[in-house]
Amino acid sequence: MKLNIAVLPGDGIGSEVTSQAVKVLKAIASEFNHNFKFTNADVGAIAIDKYNNPLPEKTLDLCRSTDAILFGAIGHPKYDNDPSAKVRPEQGLLRLRKELGLFANIRPVQAYEALLDKSPLKKHIIKGTDISIYRELTGGIYFGEKQLSKDGNVASDLCEYSRKEIERIAHLAFKAAQMRKHKVTLIDKANVLETSRLWRKVVAEIAEDYKDVILDFLFVDNAAMQMILNPKQFDVILTENMFGDIISDEASVIGGSIGLLASASIGEKYAMFEPIHGSFPQATGKGIANPVASILSAAMLLEHFGLFSEAELIRLGVDKSLKLNISTPDINTKYDNVTTGKVGEFIEDFI
């Protein structure tokens, strides 16, 4: 297969981890006789520095003309504590999601056998956990109108959802559940929010088309608790943008490190694959960033194009690296000094 892949390393540890994912994809290409072409482009703080624009048109054009996007990370502390900054790195990522219509962010969460002891949670709580989170990604309070009064004393953000936005991701979630454990849990705050009540209504209607799937509802505050008390109760989680952001980061503690969690952002025309971790500025350039999330994002990319054996081989390589403790410090059980590059090389060689 021929695939053009845009690589957007972004900020912080982004370039270190995506370069390992590219390495692994190249190994797959040569092993399976595929033709993968990689083209890099800037996004985020680094693009602000160069072009004063977190998402240069050139980058967007590239994304539109490729088959898939491999994304690194975004964010820089110099913007985080400057509430008055007009241009911010995150706008690049948010605009990219919106422009490409990447409405469904899919985040698999599972407990790795080799890492059960690494989690802050007790082993019997997490063992066997296997969740797929479907987070709506182009709507809600992220994209609603933002206002700041002239005198700077009143701010607002509008959370808005339409039936159509809810329907399209709900169908994906139910379809996923049909191939899994036949359960969808909708997380919302329907006892307070009008948008949540619309979610509950629309999702309940759609559930009628999927009689073999059980639909369950949880208020987000309770869900944040249940995720820790008994994560095994979940199969597919369906939720809106902001709740999905919070709940999926929280769920990362199950895997033992946020450095393991991959995600796919899917739209009607485009698809982007990115770790759920951030730019981790403190780790930049130190060779300690965990490349597994980015490498597993590459595996999700392959699956997206039907290359299941290829993806499986990557997963086997990751599993083996975890078992043999070829892991960066965040999850290394013997505190060996294994670098980002070493993990990538190991998986490359395995392939």
- 221/268 with CB nearer ligand IPM: 221
Q: 180: annotated binding-site residue?
A: no
- Active-site residue flag, 221: yes
Phi-psi region of 251 (alpha: psi -120 to 50; beta: other; left: phi over 0): alpha
Largest CA distance in the chain: 61
Q: 135: annotated binding-site residue?
A: yes
Of the candidate residues 93, 253, 261, 351, the single one contacting ligand IPM (CB under 6 A): 93
Smallest gap, in angstroms, from Cβ of residue 211 to ligand IPM?
Answer: 32
> CB of 70 within 8 A of CB of 7?
yes
Q: 319: annotated binding-site residue?
A: no
> CB of 253 within 8 A of CB of 120?
yes
Which helix (H) or strand (E) segment holds residue 37: the answer is strand 35-40
User: In whole angstroms, what is the distance from residue 349 CA to residue 330 CA?
Assistant: 22
Q: 245: annotated binding-site residue?
A: yes
Write the binding mask 18 to 57 for ligand IPM: x where contact by CB under 6 A, - elsewhere: ----------------------------------------
Q: Which of residues 62-91 bind ligand IPM (CB under 6 A)?
A: 74-75, 90
- Active-site residue flag, 42: no
- Active-site residue flag, 161: no
Instruction: Give every CB contact of residue 269 below 8 A, 6+ residues apart in sequence.
Output: 100, 101
221 binds ligand IPM (CB under 6 A): yes
- 2/83 with CB nearer its own copies: 83
User: In whole angstroms, what is the distance from residue 97 CA to residue 103 CA?
Assistant: 7
User: In whole angstroms, what is the distance from residue 233 CA to residue 229 CA?
Assistant: 10
Smallest gap, in angstroms, from Cβ of residue 198 to its own copies?
Answer: 4
Q: 95: annotated binding-site residue?
A: no
Q: Tokens 């999905």 identify what position?
A: 244
Q: Which of 130, 216, 249, 319 is catalytic?
A: 249
Q: 82: annotated binding-site residue?
A: no
Q: Which of 82, 209, 221, 336 is catalytic?
A: 221
Distance of CA 132 to the CA centre of its chain: 11
- 152/211 with CB nearer its own copies: 152
Q: Which of residues 147-206 bind ligand IPM (CB under 6 A)?
A: 191-192
- Kindly provide the b/e burial profile for residues 6-31, where b requires at least 16 CB atoms within 10 angstroms of the residue's own CB: bbbbbbbbbbbbbbbbbbbbebbbee
Smallest gap, in angstroms, from Cβ of residue 60 to ligand IPM?
Answer: 17
- Active-site residue flag, 336: no
User: In whole angstroms, what is the distance from residue 215 CA to residue 195 CA?
Assistant: 18
Radius of gyration of the chain (CA): 20
- 8/326 with CB nearer ligand IPM: 8
Q: Which of 189, 210, 235, 330 is catalytic?
A: 189
Residues that bind its own copies (CB under 8 A): 75, 79-81, 83-84, 88, 90, 94, 120-122, 125, 141-142, 144, 146-148, 152-164, 189-195, 197-198, 200-201, 204, 217, 220-222, 224-225, 227-230, 242-243, 245-250, 252-253, 258, 278
- Active-site residue flag, 189: yes
Q: Which of 67, 130, 216, 245 is catalytic?
A: 245
Q: Which residue from 334, 316, 338 is spatially nearest to 326, judged by alpha carbons? A: 338
From residue 116, give the alpha-carbon distance in Å to each of 138, 178, 275, 331. 34, 28, 21, 11
Residue at shortest CB range from ligand IPM: 90
From residue 308, give the alpha-carbon distance in Å to each of 186, 302, 334. 29, 7, 33
Q: Which residues are annotated as a binding site?
A: 97, 107, 135, 221, 245, 249
| Binding-site ranges for ligand IPM (CB under 6 A) | 74-75, 90, 93, 191-192, 221, 245, 276
Which sequence positions are flagged as catalytic? 142, 189, 221, 245, 249
